[in-house]
Chains A and B, each alone.
Chain A
Amino acid sequence: KQEVTQIPAALSVPEGENLVLNCSFTDSAIYNLQWFRQDPGKGLTSLLLIQSSQREQTSGRLNASLDKSSGRSTLYIAASQPGDSATYLCAVSLYSGAGSYQLTFGKGTKLSVIP
């Protein structure tokens, strides 16, 4: 059974700092990996999706890397801002048969950026 672990569970940084969130998964036979952002009382917003054949994806101040063989991904946030404060979730996609692709989520890292 696929397990996804995110470290740290919570992180507090001053505004302007660069930071790294970590994600690890136990089954390397993934189809893709996604990083989501969740704000309180709201749904999830997809930030970056990395295909299993890719090593990294970038969007603005965000950069996500994937090392499938070691079962690890990192989300790098440059020049953090208070508006980045949210819970960041890592999820891996696995084929579960009959055309079904399931996402398995980590428990998330709660990020607080202090002005």
Chain B
Amino acid sequence: GAGVSQSPSNKVTEKGKDVELRCDPISGHTALYWYRQSLGQGLEFLIYFQGNSAPDKSGLPSDRFSAERTGGSVSTLTIQRTQQEDSAVYLCASRKSGGALRGDTQYFGPGTRLTVL
């Protein structure tokens, strides 16, 4: 498709289970971002991938969170041993270039709403 897609759109899980969230960026976009939007909060940066460079993981809230980007395209965000405070909307965005081209905007997917019971 033409835009960023994410799956699933909704995920309900039990506390302690692992979950995987998927992001398909726009074809040709080298930069990929994950954000988290909790109820009543702003978007919180989680992790950033740029080409083959080491990802910027500075936003991951704990070691239960990890992400991969295979082949420079699809990305998977994994949350292990989920907790109720992990409940949020997880948004993925891609950008055409991740370097000094400041004019490139990020294109967001529709998000995955995660509910941990």
Contact = CB atoms under 8 A, between A and B. Distances in A.
Q: How large is the interface on B (under 10, 10 to 19, 20 to 34, 35 or more residues)?
A: 20 to 34
Interface in A34-73: 34, 36, 41-46, 49, 51-52
Contacts of A49: 103, 105
Given A100-B50, A103-B106, 14 more contacts: A36-B108, A42-B110, A43-B111, A44-B108, A46-B107, A51-B103, A97-B56, A98-B54, A100-B56, A100-B98, A102-B48, A104-B45, A105-B35, A105-B43
B42 A108 contact: yes
B53 A34 contact: no
A4 B42 contact: yes
Main secondary structure on chain B at its contact with chain A? loop
Contacts of A104: 45
B64 to A, nearest CB: 21
B103 A89 contact: no
Interface residues of A, number: 30
Nearest to B40: A107
Contacts of B109: 43
